């Protein structure tokens, strides 16, 4: 059941788990170090990937406690980054117009910006959501 404090979707977590040997579900739930390890070791040689099937509920709960809900949706941002990151669409969605244009003109700042965003997107969204909730 989704409650208003949920910042991430458990369904999307499981969908990304299907590609979990790439670490995508770990990046999504805010674990970039283990996401990177999963990426370079094929989900810890598929063993960690299988174990993660049972850890998704815990990763989901921790993400909901760790990140700030608000007008910028984590799932939408992650989907935009994953599929259109090289165009900077996720940055336009977060109203980061300058870097959105930079990504658009430089293919995601030559891929380096996309990698940076995989590591920091959850924190970026939390900061924006927190700032917007304070300004209300």
pLDDT of residue 20 exceeding 90, the answer is no
Q: Is the dihedral of CA 48, 49, 55, 60 positive or negative?
A: positive
Distance CA 100, CA 90 (A): 8
Provide the pLDDT for residue 4: 56
Confidence of residue 2 (pLDDT cuts 50, 70, 90): very low
- Would you kindly state where each structural domain of the chain is located, as residue ranges? 10-66, 74-134
Q: What pLDDT digit, counting tens, does each position of 57-114 carry?
A: 999 999 999 999 999 999 999 999 999 999 999 999 999 999 999 999 999 999 999 9
DSSP per position, 35-78 = HHHHHHHHHHHTHHHHHHHHHHHHHHHHHHHHS--SSS-HHHHH
Task: Count CA atoms within 13 Å of residue 45 on its CB side.
Answer: 0
Residues in CB range of 28: below 8 A, 6 or more apart: 8, 12, 13, 16, 78
């Amino acid at each position: 059941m989704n409650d208003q404090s949920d910042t991430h979707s458990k369904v999307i977590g499981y969908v990304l788990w299907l590609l979990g040997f790439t670490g995508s579900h770990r990046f999504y739930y805010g674990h970039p170090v283990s996401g990177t390890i999963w990426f370079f070791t094929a989900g810890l040689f598929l063993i960690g990937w299988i174990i993660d099937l049972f850890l998704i509920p815990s990763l989901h709960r921790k993400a909901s406690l760790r990140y700030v809900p608000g007008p910028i949706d984590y799932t939408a941002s992650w989907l935009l980054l994953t599929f259109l990151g090289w165009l900077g669409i996720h940055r336009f969605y977060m109203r980061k117009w300058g870097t959105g244009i930079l990504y658009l003109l430089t293919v995601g700042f030559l891929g380096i910006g996309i990698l940076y965003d995989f590591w920091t997107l959850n924190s970026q969204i939390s900061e924006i959501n927190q700032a917007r909730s304070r300004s209300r």
